[in-house]
Structure 1
Amino acid sequence: MEGGVATLAILAVTVLVSWRAFGDRRLLDRLLLWPPAIDRQRQYERLLTHGFVHADWQHLLFNMITLYFFGRHVERMFVPYIGALGFVLFYLSAILVAILPTWLRHRNDPGYRSLGASGAVSAVLFAFILVQPWALIFVFFIPVPAIVYAVLYIGYSIWMDRRGGDSVNHSAHLWGAGYGVLFTVIMEPRVVGTFAARLLSPMS
């Protein structure tokens, strides 16, 4: 699996499962994160399966477009160290790590539900930003330096997580982003120096 094939495989599976779940409410309810099902029925697989279903096509497309453009680059970076299978395991572990704080916070809340690949996609995105801080990320067709986007993204996610009031799991975004950075640094510690050097040389 080279040249982004693992990323495309993850994307294909996610689109297929999400598409099936759009027309099958029972399937959707069985795969999304619902804390009581984990605690009472020991359905721990939900900690992973929620990352393969989405609320609607807009939710799915936003995550998958982001994964497509950045996942292939991160996969190529990771393959020399951990192989394509390692990249897949990184992605799956990001789904898990990003959702754990949410599960712990809402484990006694039968009205809470969460779904979507945003936590894992954030991990992939921030692994990319760590290596290419001055790459341009297009936000509503406006080019924004990756490091600027990262600061705005983190600030907004923290603010919205504390404020609440919407249906977006901002906590998963934050934990996913942090995990992507931490995993990359552990895998290749020299990336910290590279990040600092590139951050100080935006025109190089």
Structure 2
Amino acid sequence: MITLFIIIATCIVSFMAFSNGSIIDKLIFYPPAVSQERQWYRFFSCGLIHADFGHLIFNMYAFYSFGNFVEDTFGDMFGEPTGTILYLILYISALAVCLLPTYFQNRNNYAYRSLGASGAVSAIVFASIILNPTAGIGLIFIPGLSIPAFIFGIIYLAVSYWLDKRGGGNINHSAHLYGGLYGIIFLIIAGKIFSQYDVIAGFIFQVRSYLRM
């Protein structure tokens, strides 16, 4: 339910912004506006807008594909309403946390802007990977082929790190990288505080069982 609500809200705001530049200007992540005008809300509001339909569809499809599983699993792990609350906190906090390195690097860069929910979506994707590391994840550029989630996660983090260090382009690879890492850390800490389930031990057990096959 929370996943669907976030998708609907994000789509509505993004659709409105596609034809209204002032909405983008008010919501986009613009580091100088944060550092000089204290517009901290931009850490979160930028996740409601996207560059174009392709950007929006890709993010929301990925979020839907992994979000429902994570939301349901959180309910099982932590009980209700704790699971739902933690899931919502993970998504919202990931919007800001994934952008912290970007902010400190560009807080006086008047040419820099960033938008989209990719960092928060990455946090949800990696929470799913830790919870179900042997699930198959399809590769868009190779139809019909899927790889275990834990292998996909390693590749994803490595590629995001390399692209971030290389620089250039209009994609904030740093947000992808730190969003994914934050999703892992959040899940481990939440598991220790609110559940009897050992997240790390469960992940290792599933991967070892898979590799023995």
SS of equivalent to 2:99: helix
Conserved? CA contact 1:79–1:86, under 8 Å: no
CA distance in structure 1 between the partners assigned to 2:16 and 2:119 by the alignment: 21
Q: Which residue of 2 aligns with 1:200?
A: 208
Which aligned pairs between 1:168-179 and structure 2 lie closer than 5 A? Answer: 168-179=171-182
CA RMSD of aligned residues (A): 1.2
Amino acid at match of 2:202: T
Shift of 1:152: 1.0
Shift of 1:78: 1.5
User: Residues 90-122 of structure 1, C-alpha deviation per residue, up to 9 Å, x if partnerless?
Assistant: 100010110111011100100000011010000
Q: Which residue of 2 aligns with 1:78?
A: 74
The answer to whether the aligner puts 1:28 opposite 2:36 as a matched pair is no
Which 5+ residue runs of structure 2 have no aligned equivalent?
Answer: 193-197
Which aligned pairs between 1:6-25 and structure 2 lie closer than 5 A? Answer: 6-25=2-21
Q: Which residue of 1 aligns with 2:195?
A: none
CA distance in structure 1 between the partners assigned to 2:199 and 2:84 by the alignment: 20
The answer to whether the aligner puts 1:146 opposite 2:154 as a matched pair is no
Amino acid at match of 1:187: A
CA distance in structure 2 between the partners assigned to 1:103 and 1:74 by the alignment: 28
Which 5+ residue runs of structure 1 have no aligned equivalent?
Answer: none
List, as ranges, runs of 4+ consecutive aligned residues in structure 1 with deviation greater than 3 Å.
Answer: none
SS of equivalent to 1:184: helix
Q: TM-score scaled to structure 1, two decimals?
A: 0.94
- Give the count of matched residue pairs: 200
CA distance in structure 2 between the partners assigned to 1:59 and 1:85 by the alignment: 27
The answer to whether the aligner puts 1:104 opposite 2:104 as a matched pair is yes
Shift of 1:144: 1.9
